[in-house]
């Protein structure tokens, strides 16, 4: 379909969806220690609520993406919002840690639809030259949601308990599902089917698509996995849940600033340079956090990581849209997002033992060590991709996919 702007109202609804899903992604982080104390279990046990969420959030994305190519993006996202609400209502009422983990797992399984389908919707409805700014806006709104989640969760936990913060998502998600009903559906029902599988096969033969799946798995651990422990590190250092929430909430404001910076830089520097800048900021943030888990150290790390998100992840998301062939955008976006969040889940699980033992300096040093090669490889690969697509005949993959679609 022809590309056009999604409209201010449509973008506002999508931004609200990203705000909520990032709120849901992050809301558990400041609650890990209070939940462990409430249920009388170790931090490592409660961390499974985070890991289970991220694992299903990653694993279910291809399912939602493929379904959206068949029945429509908006329909799938509306059902997903209802599932997010149900899962969080279960978690908020959990009588034990097992039910909490199950509820968060349900929320993650349904929440998996929101990010890739929003990106696919942007790809369907927004002109290419406007996409990175839209992507950065999504990331900024999401990061604000994540930042607010840490602050509100801390305040509510201090005033009442950990449960109201989770309940808030359970109530807000169904209400947002109603607003999503106002979005025009860019995908015609029945457009998928066997032909979609053939088009996906054409994309999977592209070297860049295969590279992205592998690369974003590692990049996801660096960009979206390790920062989850900033809040716990402050609490382990004796800071209250409120103070830790306010400090790490700076992540959202920094991401908003990063989004504004994307708008300034997008016509001045290459996307490879944008990714390199984001990766460098993230590496510096983890290095600072590894050196010191004080208020100042974690504040600086949160600010740097928030700016890195807008600069680096918007580049990855735009890249994912660019490698998709016609008719496969929902599936391709979901597979790339699957790799990102599965990497984040594996990353958090891998360092849970360090967090449980309070070795946060070592944990963040590992994060910095992972981020450095990710930054170098990602920037070089993005530059090479730009050169390869600028050559005559670079669109052969899309042409092949269109030919398959017409058969």
* Reported pTM: 0.73
DSSP state at residue 96: S
What is 187-244 written as a DSSP string?
S-TT--SHHHHHHHHHHHTSHHHHHHHHHHHHHHIIIIIGGGGHHHHHHHTT--HHHH
Closest CA relative to residue 108, chosen from 123, 120, 90: 90
Q: How far apart are CA 26 and CA 14, in angstroms?
A: 18
Asked if residue 356 lies in contact with residue 44, where contact means CB atoms within 8 angstroms, the answer is yes
Query: In sequence order, what are the residues at sequence separation of 6 or more whose Cβ sits closer than 8 angstroms to the Cβ of residue 238?
Result: none
Closest CA relative to residue 138, chosen from 227, 21, 226, 53: 21
Can you give the pLDDT at residue 220?
87
Query: In sequence order, what are the residues at sequence separation of 6 or more whose Cβ sits closer than 8 angstroms to the Cβ of residue 65?
Result: 116, 117, 120, 330, 331, 332, 333, 334, 335, 337
Phi/psi at 7 (5° precision): 90, 145
| CA distances (Å), origin 242, targets 20, 92, 162 | 21, 19, 12
Can you give the pLDDT at residue 396?
37
Reduce the secondary structure of 26-74 to three states and give it as a string.
HCCHHHHHHHHHHHCCCHHHHHHHHHHHHHHHHHCHHHHHHHHHHHCHH
Print pLDDT tens along the chain (407 aa): 344 445 566 788 999 999 999 899 889 888 988 999 999 988 888 888 988 898 898 888 888 887 887 888 899 999 999 999 999 999 999 999 999 999 999 999 999 999 888 888 887 777 776 776 777 778 778 878 888 888 898 889 989 999 999 999 999 999 999 999 888 887 555 544 445 556 556 556 667 888 888 899 999 888 888 888 998 899 888 888 888 888 988 888 888 888 788 878 877 888 899 999 999 999 999 999 999 999 999 999 999 998 998 888 878 877 877 876 666 666 777 778 788 888 888 888 888 889 888 899 999 999 999 999 999 999 999 999 888 876 544 443 343 333 323 33
DSSP state at residue 310: I
Q: Is 20 left (phi over 0), alpha (psi -120 to 50) or beta?
A: alpha
Can you give the pLDDT at residue 165?
94
Can you give the pLDDT at residue 136?
74
Query: In sequence order, what are the residues at sequence separation of 6 or more whose Cβ sits closer than 8 angstroms to the Cβ of residue 240?
Result: 154, 158
> What CA dihedral angle connects 267, 249, 114 and 333, to 10 degrees?
40
């Amino acid at each position: 379909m022809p590309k056009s702007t999604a409209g201010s109202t449509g973008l506002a609804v999508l931004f609200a969806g990203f705000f909520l899903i990032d709120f849901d992604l992050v809301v558990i982080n400041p609650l890990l220690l209070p939940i462990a104390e409430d249920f009388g279990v170790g931090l490592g046990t409660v961390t499974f609520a985070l890991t289970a969420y991220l694992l299903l959030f990653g694993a279910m994305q291809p399912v939602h993406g493929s379904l959206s190519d068949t029945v429509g993006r908006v329909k799938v996202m509306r059902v997903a919002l209802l599932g997010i609400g149900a899962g969080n209502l279960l978690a908020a009422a959990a009588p034990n840690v097992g039910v909490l983990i199950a509820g968060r797992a349900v929320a993650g399984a349904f929440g998996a639809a929101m990010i890739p389908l929003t990106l696919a919707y942007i790809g369907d409805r927004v002109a290419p030259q406007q996409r990175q700014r839209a992507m950065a806006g999504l990331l900024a709104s999401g990061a604000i949601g994540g930042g607010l989640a840490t602050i509100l969760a801390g305040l509510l936990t201090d005033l009442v308990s950990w449960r109201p913060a989770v309940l808030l998502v359970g109530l807000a998600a169904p209400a947002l599902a109603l607003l999503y009903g106002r979005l025009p559906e860019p995908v015609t029902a029945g457009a998928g089917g066997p032909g979609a599988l053939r088009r996906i096969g054409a994309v999977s033969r592209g070297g860049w698509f295969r590279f992205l799946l592998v690369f974003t798995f590692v990049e996801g651990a660096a960009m979206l996995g390790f920062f989850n422990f900033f809040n716990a590190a402050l609490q382990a250092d004796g800071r209250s849940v409120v103070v830790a929430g306010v400090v790490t909430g700076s992540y959202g404001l920094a991401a908003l600033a990063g989004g504004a910076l994307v708008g300034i830089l997008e016509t001045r520097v290459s996307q490879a340079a944008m990714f390199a800048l984001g990766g460098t900021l993230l590496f510096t943030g983890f290095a600072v956090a590894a050196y010191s888990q004080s208020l100042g150290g974690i504040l600086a790390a949160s600010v740097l990581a928030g700016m890195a998100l807008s600069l680096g992840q918007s580049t990855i998301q735009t890249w994912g849209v660019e490698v998709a062939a016609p008719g496969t955008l929902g599936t391709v976006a979901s597979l790339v997002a699957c790799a990102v969040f599965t990497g984040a889940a594996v990353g958090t699980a891998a360092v849970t033992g360090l967090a449980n033992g309070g070795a946060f300096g070592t944990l963040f040093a590992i994060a910095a060590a992972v981020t450095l090669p990710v930054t170098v490889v990602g920037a070089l690969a993005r530059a090479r991709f730009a050169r390869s697509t600028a050559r005559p005949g670079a669109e052969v993959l899309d042409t092949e996919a269109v030919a398959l679609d017409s058969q």
